[in-house]
Chains A and B, each alone.
Chain A
Amino acid sequence: MTLVLEGASKVVDGEVWIHPTDLTLAKGTMNVLLGPTLSGKTSLMRLMAGLDQPSEGRILWEGEDVTGRRVQDRKVAMVYQQFINYPAMTVYENIASPLRVAGVPKAEIDARVREAAALMKLNERQLTRKPLELSGGQQQRCALARALVKNAGLVLLDEPLANLDYKLREELRAEIPKIFEASGAIFVYATTEPHEALLLGGNTVCLWQGRVSQFGPTPQVYRRPADATTARVFSDPPMNFLAAEKRGDRLHYGAGESVEATGPLAGLPDGPLQLGFRPDHLHIARPVEHALAFHAKVAVTEITGSETFVHLDHGADRWVALVHGVHPLRYGAPAEIYVDPAHVYVFGPDERLIAAASYASAA
Chain B
Amino acid sequence: MNKTTNHRAWFLVLPVLVLVAFSAVIPLMTVVNYSVQDTFGNNEFFWAGLEWFEDVLSSERIRDAFLRQILFSAIILAIEIPLGIVVAVNMPKKGVWSSVCLILMALPLLIPWNVVGTIWQVFGRVDIGLLGHTLAALGIDYNYTRDVEDAWITVVVMDVWHWTSLVALLCFAGLKSIPDAYYQAAKIDSASRWKVFRYIELPKMQGVLLIAVLLRFMDSFMIYTEPFVVTGGGPGNATTFLSIDLVKMAIGQFDLGPAAAFSIVYFLIILLFSYVFYTVMKTLEKAEGK
Direct contact of A and B (CB under 8 A): yes
A residues sitting closer than 8 Å to B (CB atoms) are 70, 72-73, 102
Chain A residue contacts of B3, Cβ below 8 A: 70, 72-73
- In the assembled complex, the CB of B7 is this many whole angstroms from the nearest CB of chain A, namely 15
Residues of B1-27 at the interface with A, using a CB-CB cut-off of 8 Å, are: 1-3
- In the assembled complex, the CB of B31 is this many whole angstroms from the nearest CB of chain A, namely 41
Give Cα distance in the complex from A72 to B3, angstroms. Answer: 9
- In the assembled complex, the CB of A65 is this many whole angstroms from the nearest CB of chain B, namely 14
Give Cα distance in the complex from A102 to B1, angstroms. Answer: 9
Among residues of A, the one whose C-beta sits closest to the C-beta of B2 is A73
Among residues of A, the one whose C-beta sits closest to the C-beta of B4 is A73
Chain B residue contacts of A73, Cβ below 8 A: 1-3
Chain B residue contacts of A70, Cβ below 8 A: 3
- In the assembled complex, the CB of B79 is this many whole angstroms from the nearest CB of chain A, namely 41
Chain A residue contacts of B1, Cβ below 8 A: 72-73, 102
Give Cα distance in the complex from A70 to B3, angstroms. Answer: 9
- In the assembled complex, the CB of B1 is this many whole angstroms from the nearest CB of chain A, namely 6
Interface centre among A70, A72, A73, A102 (most CB of B within 10 A): A73
Give Cα distance in the complex from A19 to B2, angstroms. Answer: 31
Work out how many contacts link A and B, with CB atoms closer than 8 A: 7
Chain A residue contacts of B2, Cβ below 8 A: 73
- In the assembled complex, the CB of B6 is this many whole angstroms from the nearest CB of chain A, namely 13
Give Cα distance in the complex from A72 to B5, angstroms. Answer: 12
Among residues of B, the one whose C-beta sits closest to the C-beta of A75 is B1
Q: What are 7 A-B pairs with beta-carbon distances under 8 A?
A: A70-B3, A72-B1, A72-B3, A73-B1, A73-B2, A73-B3, A102-B1
Give Cα distance in the complex from A69 to B81, angstroms. Answer: 48
Give Cα distance in the complex from A73 to B4, angstroms. Answer: 9
- In the assembled complex, the CB of A163 is this many whole angstroms from the nearest CB of chain B, namely 16
- In the assembled complex, the CB of B47 is this many whole angstroms from the nearest CB of chain A, namely 50
Give Cα distance in the complex from A349 to B196, angstroms. Answer: 52
- In the assembled complex, the CB of A45 is this many whole angstroms from the nearest CB of chain B, namely 21
Chain B residue contacts of A72, Cβ below 8 A: 1, 3
Among residues of B, the one whose C-beta sits closest to the C-beta of A102 is B1
Chain B residue contacts of A102, Cβ below 8 A: 1
Give Cα distance in the complex from A70 to B9, angstroms. Answer: 15
- In the assembled complex, the CB of A314 is this many whole angstroms from the nearest CB of chain B, namely 38
- In the assembled complex, the CB of B286 is this many whole angstroms from the nearest CB of chain A, namely 15
Give Cα distance in the complex from A332 to B1, angstroms. Answer: 67
- In the assembled complex, the CB of B70 is this many whole angstroms from the nearest CB of chain A, namely 40
Residues of B85-143 at the interface with A, using a CB-CB cut-off of 8 Å, are: none
- In the assembled complex, the CB of B220 is this many whole angstroms from the nearest CB of chain A, namely 38
- In the assembled complex, the CB of A75 is this many whole angstroms from the nearest CB of chain B, namely 8
Q: Per-residue CB proximity of B38-67 to A under 8 Å, as 1/0?
A: 000000000000000000000000000000
- In the assembled complex, the CB of A304 is this many whole angstroms from the nearest CB of chain B, namely 29
Give Cα distance in the complex from A47 to B82, angstroms. Answer: 47
- In the assembled complex, the CB of A97 is this many whole angstroms from the nearest CB of chain B, namely 16
Give Cα distance in the complex from A313 to B29, angstroms. Answer: 78
Among residues of B, the one whose C-beta sits closest to the C-beta of A101 is B1
Nearest 7 Cβ contacts at the A-B interface:
A73-B1, A73-B3, A73-B2, A72-B1, A72-B3, A70-B3, A102-B1
- In the assembled complex, the CB of A44 is this many whole angstroms from the nearest CB of chain B, namely 24
Give Cα distance in the complex from A70 to B1, angstroms. Answer: 11
- In the assembled complex, the CB of A333 is this many whole angstroms from the nearest CB of chain B, namely 36
Among residues of A, the one whose C-beta sits closest to the C-beta of B3 is A73
Give Cα distance in the complex from A109 to B150, angstroms. Answer: 72
Give Cα distance in the complex from A72 to B1, angstroms. Answer: 8
- In the assembled complex, the CB of A265 is this many whole angstroms from the nearest CB of chain B, namely 50
Give Cα distance in the complex from A102 to B2, angstroms. Answer: 12
- In the assembled complex, the CB of A280 is this many whole angstroms from the nearest CB of chain B, namely 37
- In the assembled complex, the CB of A326 is this many whole angstroms from the nearest CB of chain B, namely 35
- In the assembled complex, the CB of A227 is this many whole angstroms from the nearest CB of chain B, namely 36
- In the assembled complex, the CB of B8 is this many whole angstroms from the nearest CB of chain A, namely 15
Among residues of A, the one whose C-beta sits closest to the C-beta of B1 is A73
Give Cα distance in the complex from A73 to B5, angstroms. Answer: 11
Give Cα distance in the complex from A73 to B2, angstroms. Answer: 7
Give Cα distance in the complex from A142 to B174, angstroms. Answer: 32
- In the assembled complex, the CB of B185 is this many whole angstroms from the nearest CB of chain A, namely 22
- In the assembled complex, the CB of A205 is this many whole angstroms from the nearest CB of chain B, namely 28
Give Cα distance in the complex from A72 to B2, angstroms. Answer: 10
- In the assembled complex, the CB of B9 is this many whole angstroms from the nearest CB of chain A, namely 13
Give Cα distance in the complex from A162 to B2, angstroms. Answer: 35
- In the assembled complex, the CB of A154 is this many whole angstroms from the nearest CB of chain B, namely 14
Give Cα distance in the complex from A90 to B3, angstroms. Answer: 30
- In the assembled complex, the CB of B109 is this many whole angstroms from the nearest CB of chain A, namely 28
- In the assembled complex, the CB of A358 is this many whole angstroms from the nearest CB of chain B, namely 51
Give Cα distance in the complex from A70 to B2, angstroms. Answer: 11
- In the assembled complex, the CB of B219 is this many whole angstroms from the nearest CB of chain A, namely 35
Give Cα distance in the complex from A97 to B58, angstroms. Answer: 66
- In the assembled complex, the CB of A74 is this many whole angstroms from the nearest CB of chain B, namely 8
Give Cα distance in the complex from A70 to B4, angstroms. Answer: 10
- In the assembled complex, the CB of A168 is this many whole angstroms from the nearest CB of chain B, namely 23
- In the assembled complex, the CB of B43 is this many whole angstroms from the nearest CB of chain A, namely 54
Give Cα distance in the complex from A250 to B195, angstroms. Answer: 62
Give Cα distance in the complex from A73 to B3, angstroms. Answer: 7
Give Cα distance in the complex from A168 to B2, angstroms. Answer: 40
